[in-house]
Amino acid sequence: MARVVVEVMPKAEILDPQGQAIAGALPRLGFEGVTDVRQGKRFELEVGDDMSDDQIAAIAESLLANTVIEDWKVVRVS
């Protein structure tokens, strides 16, 4: 078995209201010095050792990310 991480983040040109809400809340809660926050998703997949990068890319693209508004990246952890 191998562990694969898929990181999904809103594209740079897409507004991220969740991240903006966090960035706005931080100074009110006493945390200064954070200028921008973007929120995305992180998936940890346990996959068979024979699973190819192409197969994982197909899963990320078709099921885990909305490629209209999100970028995704695959990181093999082990």
Region for residue 57 given its phi and psi (left: phi exceeds 0; alpha: psi -120 to 50; beta: otherwise): alpha
Residues 31-60 as x/- pattern, contact with its own copies by CB under 8 A:
x-xxxxxxxxxxxxxxxx-xx---x--xx-
Give the H/E segment covering residue 55: helix 53-59
Task: Give the sign of the dihedral formed by CA 18, CA 23, CA 24, CA 27.
Answer: positive
Number of residues counted as binding its own copies (CB under 8 A): 34
74 interacts with its own copies by CB under 8 A: no
| Contacts with its own copies, residue ranges (CB under 8 A) | 1, 7-9, 19, 22, 25-26, 29, 31, 33-48, 50-51, 55, 58-59, 62-64
